[in-house]
Structure 1
Amino acid sequence: MLHPFFAEGQTPRIFGHRGYVSAANAERGIAENSRAALAAAVDAGADYVESDCQLTADGEVVLFHDSTLERTLGDARRISTVTHAQLAELMADRGGLITLAEALTELPSIRLNVDMKSPEVATPAGTLVGSLAPDRVLISSFSDRLRLEALAAAEAAGSRPAAGAGQSAIVKILAAVAMRSSALLDRAFAGIDALQVPVKQGPVRVLSPGLLRAAHERGVEVHVWTVNEADQTRELVELGVDGIITDRTDLAVAALRG
């Protein structure tokens, strides 16, 4: 049975990757993962928004990708060394800082795919999700340890959100697909609601009909990142993927909803 996270929204699902920053908004200085970027993804027609979380020096869970401010704000400091107020001031003319709690309470229509980006953020982020909106969040991380920590904190605080798969879980799934072992596949997919993968990782093909079939037989959705071309979007949907994670919400909506 699908997790309530997937109860609403059309299929195939469109995830705005770190929100949506159009070319015009990029020229204005709007940053990814900002309040403006999240709102723009929803306004452009995304069913879901993929974002990332970090923890500030004073313990606020904020939506921000990198561990430092260098790429986004030209500031060499680590995000863990600045306060929420300091970061909010820096983001004021970049689309506005938004916390995880604000995204879940002030944007009630939003459904978030939240990636745990640092060890210190997993438990506080999971606690917020479990207490505020577990049905509207999918927890993910490249680290299965962080993903499981966040899920455990969410369950302790209220209820279990949807769960993605980390790198080690994906490796186990791909090995089980290659071995065509139903028992191994059952174990590898246990506790996972969505498998989010690239088409290829370097020279290695990750997405395959066998992977899609194995996931769908176990009620697990497959979402592909990061897809920014309309033709590839349509090809992947024809192959059978359940969702597209994209920087170009506008192109994905035109390709799949037009």
Structure 2
Amino acid sequence: MTSAHPWFAGSATPRVLAHRGLVTPAAAAQGVAENSFAAVAAAHAAGATYIESDCHLTADDVVVLFHDPDLTRVTGDPRAIADVSLRELERLMADRGGLITLRQALDAFPAVRFNLDVKAEGAAGEVGRIVAPQAHRVLLTSFSDARRREALDATARAGSSIRPATSAGTATIARLLVALATRSKSLIGRALRDIDALQVPERQGRLRVVTPRLLDAAHRHGVEVHVWTINDTDDMRRLVSMRVDGIVTDRADVALRALAGPPGHP
């Protein structure tokens, strides 16, 4: 049993989700950054159907694909994304693969299905409004369930005929793990209500998150399990053998080759 949302339709499992696009070692040596236009284009060119990215809001209220709250790691500039204008971000990213806004990503890559993590609280409403016409090919998520729900609500207010797919935030996943530990069917069902996917690490510290019990419960409720961030091919194959539905990886090109073959469970 799998989600009926169009984001999942017509694509066999295991799904490969290109984490922040694709930056090969050769591209990195040329200065290409994650979540750049070049990284998204490279993932698409490698054959990735699904691209995972992150959403922040600029000083002039434009949603851009960027992971960190500030520019320190990517450009060496300590300022927050929220304090920099679109034009200045474009200048800073010009030799790092090029900045890409959310609108540009949706327009330039119409065949891609985007997995969007709403990182900034102020971005949720604008993300929801932008993706509303494209809700069939967008999955919205956030570590914050409140932020995730705000983005989903914004798509409805913008007149979307369907809601985007969605994966659980941290609080929902915590409730699910407690429900699994107590074997409460009602609590498990409540935690998974209106959820299309669980996107989780295999472990969180000493806690094993991805277990046969979690996979069984998710699949009984039509919820997929995607594991991040897996770059070793042996780990990819091992997780798929456990019936994981998707692999989030920095090397989508490698994963697509490693996992090619007969499709997984329906």
Query: 1:1-258, aligned counterparts within 5 Å?
Result: 1-130=3-132, 132-157=133-158, 158=160, 159-257=162-260
Asked whether the equivalents of residues 10 and 47 of structure 1 are also in contact (C-alpha less than 8 Å), the reply is no
- Per the normalisation by structure 2, the TM-score is 0.95
Deviation at residue 9 of structure 1 after TM alignment: 2.3
Deviation at residue 252 of structure 1 after TM alignment: 0.7
Find the aligned partners of 1:185 and 1:168 in 2 and give their Cα distance: 13
Find the aligned partners of 2:10 and 2:46 in 1 and give their Cα distance: 17
Deviation at residue 250 of structure 1 after TM alignment: 2.0
- Per the normalisation by structure 1, the TM-score is 0.98
RMSD between superposed Cα atoms in Å: 0.9
Which sections of structure 1, spanning at least 5 residues, go unmatched?
Answer: none
Deviation at residue 109 of structure 1 after TM alignment: 0.8
Deviation at residue 249 of structure 1 after TM alignment: 1.1
Which sections of structure 2, spanning at least 5 residues, go unmatched?
Answer: 262-266
Deviation at residue 253 of structure 1 after TM alignment: 1.1
Asked whether the equivalents of residues 49 and 111 of structure 2 are also in contact (C-alpha less than 8 Å), the reply is no
Matched positions, count: 257
Deviation at residue 254 of structure 1 after TM alignment: 1.6
Asked whether the equivalents of residues 118 and 140 of structure 2 are also in contact (C-alpha less than 8 Å), the reply is yes
Deviation at residue 257 of structure 1 after TM alignment: 1.2
Deviation at residue 2 of structure 1 after TM alignment: 1.9
Residue by residue, what CA displacement relative to the aligned partner does 1:230-254 show, whole Å, maximum 9, x if unpaired?
Answer: 0010000000000000011122112
Find the aligned partners of 2:122 and 2:25 in 1 and give their Cα distance: 34
Asked whether the equivalents of residues 17 and 247 of structure 2 are also in contact (C-alpha less than 8 Å), the reply is yes
Q: Which has the higher contact order (CA 8 A, sep 6+)?
A: 2
- Which amino acid counterpart does residue 224 of structure 1 have in structure 2? V
Q: Alignment partner of 2:259: what SS?
A: helix
Asked whether the equivalents of residues 19 and 38 of structure 1 are also in contact (C-alpha less than 8 Å), the reply is yes
Deviation at residue 89 of structure 1 after TM alignment: 1.0
Find the aligned partners of 1:99 and 1:251 in 2 and give their Cα distance: 26
Asked whether the equivalents of residues 140 and 147 of structure 1 are also in contact (C-alpha less than 8 Å), the reply is yes
- Structure 1 runs of 4+ aligned residues shifted over 4 Å read none
Find the aligned partners of 1:140 and 1:66 in 2 and give their Cα distance: 16
Residue by residue, what CA displacement relative to the aligned partner does 1:81-124 show, whole Å, maximum 9, x if unpaired?
Answer: 11111101111111111111111112101111000101100110
Find the aligned partners of 2:71 and 2:64 in 1 and give their Cα distance: 13
Asked whether the equivalents of residues 229 and 251 of structure 1 are also in contact (C-alpha less than 8 Å), the reply is no
Identity of aligned residues (%): 54
Deviation at residue 154 of structure 1 after TM alignment: 1.0
- Which amino acid counterpart does residue 72 of structure 1 have in structure 2? V
Q: Alignment partner of 2:186: what SS?
A: helix
Q: Alignment partner of 1:257: what SS?
A: coil
